[in-house]
C-alpha cells in the first residue's frame, strides 16, 4: 500500500452541515448522498521523508460522481466522527478532459503548487509548505466540475505531542491492538480549532494489491484524547476479511488536520484538506 495522503473528508462539522444534524449525536449513522451528488478531495500534506526532512505532497481523488463511487459506514457523536471503508470503492482518478488546482501562500514557491488532472502519482515538493498559522489559497478549474474560485484554508499546526500509544521501539516495533477493547489515543491538548485524525489501514485478506481498508476517526485537538468505538473496530475487521486465526496487520497514522468544504453547483462537494503527518507505526490486531 502506498503512503496515503490524508484525504479524510467527513469531519463532524462537515456531516452536520451537509445532512442537517444538530444536537448531541450518539448513534451510528450512514452518510447518505442525494443521487446527483459528486464529491472530490484535494489534499496538501506535510510529512518527513526518510532523512527526517519535511516535504510536501499534493494530490486529488474523486470519491463519487453522481452516486457512483464510495460508501462509508459512520459513527458520529458530539465528540468524534469515525468512518470505515474499502478504499478501492472510491473512484480514484478516472480520466477527465483536464484540470488544474493550485495551493498558494505560506512557504510555497511563487505561483504555488499545482495539482494536475490525470496525473496519477503524487507531486512532491522537497520543502515544507508552511510553518504554522498561515492561510493558503486554493482554487481549481476543470476536473469535470464547476470552477472553484479562490478560497482560504487555515493550515494545521506542525507539532503534536502524542502521549499514547507509545512510539515504536526496537523491542516493540508493532503496536498491539486488543480486539475486545476500544483503542485510545492521547496527545497534548491545545485550544486550536483543528482535528487530530487517527487511522488504521490494512490490506483485505487475499488482496495484496488492494488500496486497503481504512478506519479513521476525527477528534477535536482541544480534547486531548480520542477513543475508537468498539463497533467501528469490529466493522474494520469485518471489511478486512473473513474471520480467521490470523491477526490483522497494518499501519496506524496520526495527523493534525484542517479542512475546507465547498458546495458547488450541480451537486458537487469539494473537500480541501491540509494535514501534517505526525506518526506512522505498524500495528497488529488480534482477532
Q: What is the pLDDT of residues 105-157, one digit of tens each?
A: 999 999 999 999 998 777 899 999 999 889 999 999 999 999 999 999 999 99
Q: What is the pLDDT of residues 56-80, one digit of tens each?
A: 999 999 988 887 777 777 888 888 8
Enclosing domain of residue 224: 12-285
Sign of the Cα torsion 166, 273, 86, 17 reads positive
Q: Is residue 3 part of a domain?
A: no
**3-state DSSP assignment of residue 215:** strand
For residue 285, count other CB atoms closer than 10 A to its CB: 21
**Where is pLDDT greater, at 244 or 206?**
206
Q: Is residue 269 part of a domain?
A: yes
CB 167 within 8 Å of CB 281 = yes
Q: Is residue 135 part of a domain?
A: yes
Q: Is residue 4 part of a domain?
A: no
Q: Is residue 221 part of a domain?
A: yes
Res 29: pLDDT: 53
The conformational region for residue 224 under phi > 0 = left, psi -120 to 50 = alpha, else beta, is left
Give the total number of structural domains in the chain. Answer: 1
Q: Is residue 39 part of a domain?
A: yes
Q: Is residue 2 part of a domain?
A: no
Q: Is residue 6 part of a domain?
A: no
Q: Can you name the residues that pair with 187 across neighbouring β-strands?
A: 162
CB 54 within 8 Å of CB 46 = yes
Residue 103 has pLDDT above 50, yes or no: yes
Amino acid at each position: 500500500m502506498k503512503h496515503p495522503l490524508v484525504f479524510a473528508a467527513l469531519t463532524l462539522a462537515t456531516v452536520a452541515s451537509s445532512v442537517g444534524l444538530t444536537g448531541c449525536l450518539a448513534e451510528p449513522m450512514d452518510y447518505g448522498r442525494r443521487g446527483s451528488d459528486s464529491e472530490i478531495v484535494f489534499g496538501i500534506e506535510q510529512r518527513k521523508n526518510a532523512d527526517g526532512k519535511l516535504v510536501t505532497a499534493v494530490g486529488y481523488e474523486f470519491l463519487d460522481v453522481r452516486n457512483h463511487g464510495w460508501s462509508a459506514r459512520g459513527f458520529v457523536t458530539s465528540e468524534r466522527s469515525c468512518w470505515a471503508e474499502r478504499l478501492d470503492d472510491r473512484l480514484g482518478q478516472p480520466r477527465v478532459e483536464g484540470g488544474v488546482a493550485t495551493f498558494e501562500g505560506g512557504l510555497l514557491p511563487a505561483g504555488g503548487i499545482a495539482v494536475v488532472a490525470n496525473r496519477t502519482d503524487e507531486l512532491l515538493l522537497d520543502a515544507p509548505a508552511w510553518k504554522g498559522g498561515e492561510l493558503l489559497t486554493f482554487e481549481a478549474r476543470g476536473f469535470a466540475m464547476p470552477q472553484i474560485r479562490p478560497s482560504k484554508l487555515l493550515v494545521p499546526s506542525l507539532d503534536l505531542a502524542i502521549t499514547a500509544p507509545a512510539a515504536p521501539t526496537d523491542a516493540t516495533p508493532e503496536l498491539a491492538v486488543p480486539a475486545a477493547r476500544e483503542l485510545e489515543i492521547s496527545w497534548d491538548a491545545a485550544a486550536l480549532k483543528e482535528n487530530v485524525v487517527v487511522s488504521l489501514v490494512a490490506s483485505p485478506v487475499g488482496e495484496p494489491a488492494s488500496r486497503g481498508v481504512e478506519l479513521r476517526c476525527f477528534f477535536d485537538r482541544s480534547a486531548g484524547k480520542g477513543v475508537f468505538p468498539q463497533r467501528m473496530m469490529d466493522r474494520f475487521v469485518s471489511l478486512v476479511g473473513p474471520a480467521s486465526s490470523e491477526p490483522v496487520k497494518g499501519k496506524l497514522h496520526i495527523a493534525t488536520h484542517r479542512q475546507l468544504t465547498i458546495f458547488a453547483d450541480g451537486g458537487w462537494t469539494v473537500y480541501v484538506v491540509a494535514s501534517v503527518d505526525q506518526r506512522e507505526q505498524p500495528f497488529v490486531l488480534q482477532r
